[in-house]
Amino acid sequence: MTGDQRAVIVAARRTAVAPRGGALARLQADELAAPVLRRLLDDAGIAADRIDNVLLGNALYGGGNPARLAALRAGLSPSIPALTLDTQCCSGLDAIVMAARLIGAGAADCVLAGGMESFSRAPVRMHRSQVPGEPPVAYDRPAFAPPPFADPDLAQAAALLAADRGLSRQAQVDFAVASHRKAVAARAFLKTRLITDGGRLPDADSFTRDLSRATALRAPILAGPQETGLSAATIACEADGAAAVLVVSQRAFAGLGGPGLEILAAGSAGGDPEAPALAPVAAGRRLMKAANVAPSDLAATEIMEAYAVQAMVNAGDLAIEPSGLNWMGGGLARGHPIGASGAILAVNLFDRMLSRENAAAAARSRGMALIAAAGGLASGMVVEAVFKQAG
């Protein structure tokens, strides 16, 4: 196999997303991911023994190798290696980026890649005491940047961004309401796409609702001042879910029927840890330059909505057309299963650009996915829809 060839996404699926403690609360992250991996093979018509690697992102487990558990639960051969990535919110998309790089380097032909997260089943985190005999100390999150770098609370950092950009609480609420409205409109489509595993998993994102502006404005402010503060309506809720794609080489793609998303550019970028929400702007510009794509060329863009202000600023600074942004709603309308969220963006791009309903408009069109992570990181990819006849 020759190197330096572009990778192609030929199948993409996800589970429903459910808030922490909700419909998926009894399942471990690998239990959520396993049926997704199985379905991808069926969708693409590829035998399990053609898979070279399994790469899955996860942010909250902090140990073991849940990607290996998911691969074995999915019925893949024990001879197939599996790797778990942890770049926090970027993990799921970084797994896909790594898959594309393996294929581009000639090290793989077929890779299952994505992310999984169970806030509900994540282990309790504790530091061992440095004083003998004293009990361990619980903590909510690890450090994302060491001194002398700033390591702000992410909601507080987003609130500072909203104040700096003058984005009012009302404007953020309007963005959140629009996200729910798009997600509600996509419910019928999602019922045909979400993995239910024979009815064991739900067929809808349970957090999505008919959210009114009046209701959203009554949500309590959780960070920042009254004028520009972030509320429970404009911050994505903690959630459970899994998503993955099947990435293949151009050689493998040539032997398959049906369409795919060719990855034109993919990668990660670093930014100021004090302003993590801004990292996707630099990443997006770099990726569009590498793919020779302008914002006006993008038929679809998926930007993670961990916070309304984050997605609003990222889209505005990158001159993304609102009509093409987060077509099925975003994280505000479904929740944020940390390690899976970036992979969900890739699945949404696939469905937007390759579904039968969108194929005529999306033929040879381009799209982009972007996500930020704690510590000032961002990951993304630019893709192009490729339609071809079987054989």
State pLDDT tens for residues 327-343. Answer: 999 999 999 999 999 99
Query: Which of the following is catalytic: 89, 90, 110, 180?
Result: 89
Is the pLDDT at 3 greater than 60? The verdict is: no
What is the rounded CA–CA span in Å between residue 205 and residue 14?
A: 11
Half-sphere exposure of 301 (CA within 13 A, CB side): 27
* Structural domain boundaries in the chain: 7-123+236-386
Going by their DSSP bridges, the two strands 82-85 and 7-14 should be labelled as: unpaired
Model's pTM, two decimal places? 0.95
Give the mean model confidence (pLDDT) for residues 264-286. 96
- What are the tens digits of pLDDT across the range 66-91? 999 999 999 999 999 999 999 999 99
What is the rounded CA–CA span in Å between residue 79 and residue 97?
A: 23
Is the pLDDT at 357 greater than 50? The verdict is: yes
DSSP assignments along 121-148, one per residue: TPPPPEEPPSSTTPPPEE-SS--SS-TT
Phi and psi at residue 265, to the nearest 5°: -155, 145
Topology annotation, domain 7-123+236-386: Peroxisomal Thiolase; Chain A, domain 1 (3.40.47)
Closest CA to 178 of 280, 336, 322, 278: 322
Query: Which of the following is catalytic: 90, 110, 180, 336?
Result: 336
- What are the tens digits of pLDDT across the range 261-273? 999 999 999 999 9
Q: Is 110 a catalytic residue?
A: no
pLDDT given for residue 27 in this prediction: 97
Percentage with pLDDT > 90 across the chain: 88
Is the pLDDT at 164 greater than 60? The verdict is: yes
What is the rounded CA–CA span in Å between residue 307 and residue 315?
A: 13
What is the residue-averaged pLDDT of the chain?
94
Q: Is 89 a catalytic residue?
A: yes
